[in-house]
Structure 1
Amino acid sequence: MNHSRGLFGVLGLSLTVLCTAMSPAQAQDSYPNKPIKVVVPFPAGGATDILTRAITEKLAVRIGQSVIIENKPGAGANIGAATVAKAAPDGYTILMGSIGSHSISVTYHKDPGYNFQKDLMPISSAGSLSNIVVIGNDVPAKNLKELVAYAKANPGKLTCGSSGTGGLIHLTCEMFKIAAGIDVLHVPYKGTSLLMPDLISGRVTMALDTLPPYMPMLKDGKVRALAITTAKRSSLMPDLPTVAESGYPGFESVAVYGFFAPAGTPTAIIKKLNADINAVLLDPELKDKLLKVGIEVEGSTPEALAAFVGKEIAKWAAVIKAGNIKSE
């Protein structure tokens, strides 16, 4: 009897070890078999949140599992990103990242709490928001050339508002100042919603902000758009020229968003997430829904997203250095 118990005990232990050894592969094969959490490093109700919820609603149906949104704003989106970077690399905690914000933080913040390229793995891009050069009606310029001429004739008179120091909107303004060789004072606000009334009233003269919040005001003639910062013209405002074609070749700033997973997440899981997300992004209903609020959706391969991240980090590092911009 003792020998039998010993034999069965050894067999039981062996089976336990075997099952444990097999579990990671089994987990990948059956992925996902429980809800997925997507961390949004911005407050609820913003563009990133709207984009994430629209995509994950469709994604949940496709994968047959719930997708839970967790908003973790703060520190220029670094709190949410750091949370995902430190999460278990099992595909059940992923990030909807603002590539512009995170690429800037690599250089701008001394210690963002994580390494964007080493601690996070790209899954797929998700969508983008166009930025526009928008001015108040008191500024006597009908196009970008006239705006630059006015700025040079009136050094220090123009002010450029942003939703906060060190963000994509601030850095886009700095990049334009450098490209155009003009003197413009940066005025930071705690969000676009606080900036817009001052732009209308003339307390601040211009902004290089995301397009969607300004669309109603542009329609009502309360402010004017002179150019768009994307490489190509936007389908939202096809008559609006780009900054590049207005005399500054190569100028591009776009708020691109993408999904990321903790480093070490199995390749099979990354591939499955990429395939499912890209399939969802092709949904005509989703595209139309998001385009109405100014968001253009587009997927990518993980490799293409990684290459874009590297390009953005180099671009914004150059702007930060040239503008001698220091973190607060």
Structure 2
Amino acid sequence: MQRREFTLLGAASAAGLLPFGARAQDLPARKTLTIVVGFAAGGAADTAARIIGKKLAENTGFTVVIDNKAGAGGNIAHQYTATGPADGSVLLFGSVGPLAIAPHLMKLPYDPVKDLAPVTMGVNFPNVLVVHAGLKIKTFAEFIDYARKNPGKLDYASTGAGSASHLAGELLNDMAKIDTLHVPYKGGAPALQDLLGGRVAAYYSTLSTAQPHIESGKLIPLASTGPKRIPQLPNIPTIAESGFPGYSATNWYAFVASAKVPRPVLERWNQELVKVLKSPEVVAELNQHGMPPQPGTRDELGAEIARESATWGRVIRERKITVE
């Protein structure tokens, strides 16, 4: 578990720094906010949470603590938040896996819909399908052709069973009628290590993870998994425009809280977070990491989680995906 705090000088008088209209009843009186992240420091979720948390501290005068509760694909952090403090002093930077995928794969000790309340979407971004340079596959079309001619022989890494990178591959298997082999890892670091070592052929990676190795020529980007091309890779097509219209498998991280937190507190944190996510410096920094912000209302996030849950639930049932 790793924690880091962001605060302002003179935090003892932080009440005077709160935006106009703040009231004790709609923000925690202790002036401390913990943002729980379900993954280790250094990954995409942690990076985005720290960028957002720093600006949130500047805007509100709160001490913002980033608390990394890694493990079980993010489910440990989600369970902690669902059953933890309900005064609004804890927010979770939740992810697509535990919120929309895991409920269809396993019995959870919490209900993402009943026990967690939406606050706002944070960032929403595509993965990029990369292959080891030694594979001699240069384009997405060549990848599909090779997979069709060699069923079951082309493997791809993921950050774990039920993760976004796992389901991205299963969705392509379903739509392209191919049989690529899923190889789960306990996180992005070991997956990337084996990809770079040539022990696995492909990986649906975050851009921030893959980019240095794309630039060095060790990895070849073939396609992105979102509805639009990645600005940093303008010449790399999307899977949707490469013969599979409708394909979309994005990574997203959203702010949620215990469902027991009073509605006025949830609404207030929505306002503060949307303000942060729209600030030019935060937008620029998140975009630099390939994670564009997508702030919105609480209802919009709730609807997005429901849509994603329906999509991945169907894929899991039709592909008969299970976790061991």
TM range (shorter): 0.7 to 0.9
Indicate which of 253, 267, 271 corresponds to 2:263.
Answer: 267
Indicate which of 189, 202, 207 corresponds to 2:198.
Answer: 202
- Residue of structure 2 in register with 1:69 after alignment: 66
Shift of the 30–128 alpha-carbon distance from structure 1 to 2, 3 Å rule, reads closer
Amino acid at match of 1:279: K
Q: Does 1:39 align with 2:36?
A: yes
The structural deviation recorded for 1:140 is: 4.2
Q: Does 1:237 align with 2:249?
A: no
- 1:85, 1:298 → 2: CA distance? 23
The structural deviation recorded for 1:44 is: 1.9
- Residue of structure 2 in register with 1:305 after alignment: 301
Higher mean displacement: 248-257 or 152-161 = 152-161
Shift of the 30–93 alpha-carbon distance from structure 1 to 2, 3 Å rule, reads closer
Indicate which of 85, 90, 99 corresponds to 2:96.
Answer: 99
CA contact (8 A) 1:123 1:261 kept: yes
Q: How does 1:112-151 map to 2 (within 5 A)?
A: 112-151=108-147
Amino acid at match of 1:63: T
Shift of the 208–128 alpha-carbon distance from structure 1 to 2, 3 Å rule, reads same
- 2:121, 2:162 → 1: CA distance? 23
The structural deviation recorded for 1:33 is: 4.5
- 2:266, 2:272 → 1: CA distance? 10
Shift of the 30–97 alpha-carbon distance from structure 1 to 2, 3 Å rule, reads closer
- Residue of structure 1 in register with 2:290 after alignment: 294
- 1:32, 1:172 → 2: CA distance? 42
The structural deviation recorded for 1:192 is: 2.3
Shift of the 189–234 alpha-carbon distance from structure 1 to 2, 3 Å rule, reads same
- 1:226, 1:215 → 2: CA distance? 13
- 1:145, 1:303 → 2: CA distance? 39
CA contact (8 A) 2:26 2:268 kept: no
CA contact (8 A) 1:140 1:147 kept: no
Amino acid at match of 1:237: L
- 1:156, 1:327 → 2: CA distance? 19
The structural deviation recorded for 1:194 is: 2.0
Structure 1 consecutive aligned stretches of length 4 or more whose deviation exceeds 6 Å: none
- 1:70, 1:207 → 2: CA distance? 28
Shift of the 30–279 alpha-carbon distance from structure 1 to 2, 3 Å rule, reads closer
- TM-score normalised by length of structure 1: 0.87
- 1:63, 1:33 → 2: CA distance? 12
Shift of the 277–155 alpha-carbon distance from structure 1 to 2, 3 Å rule, reads same
- TM-score normalised by length of structure 2: 0.88
Q: Which has the larger radius of gyration?
A: 1
Higher mean displacement: 133-142 or 178-187 = 133-142
Q: Does 1:179 align with 2:175?
A: yes
Shift of the 30–154 alpha-carbon distance from structure 1 to 2, 3 Å rule, reads closer
The structural deviation recorded for 1:198 is: 2.9
